[in-house]
Amino acid sequence: MTKTEEIKALKEKIKLLEGDIKAVENRKEEMTPERELAIALHGALCHCNHTDGCGWYWVEGNIDMWEHSSRRSYVDAAQKILNDGISLGTALRMITHIKDL
């Protein structure tokens, strides 16, 4: 690889990392293992209409949506799974396997 190609490749990496930084900066909520697992559980298990059948994506004012009933039940289930000693990685892999059925 020439010096010019190497610089070009490094600039591409920088561009990708800057995109990652912006994504983190724009994240409105703090992610926790429970929330990450809750998102995966909802993605695998909820078959509701998200217009008026499930409030997962619903946002209202300054309400903490993680405390809303539409998300609370998934977070509670995620907490139980993690409390049973199942790691987040294992739980996420299990959900992926189940979704692949």
Give residues in contact with Zn ion (CB under 5 A): 46, 48, 54, 56
Encoded tokens for 30: 């703090």
Comparison of 21 and 48: residue with beta carbon closer to Zn ion: 48
Instruction: Decide if 56 contacts 69 (C-beta within 8 A).
Output: no
Output the smallest distance, CB 50 to Zn ion, in A.
6
Q: How far is the CB of 19 from Zn ion (least distance, A)?
A: 28
- Residue located via tokens 């078959």: 47
8 A C-beta contact, residue 56 and residue 46: yes
Which is nearer to Zn ion, 4 or 69 (by Cβ)?
69
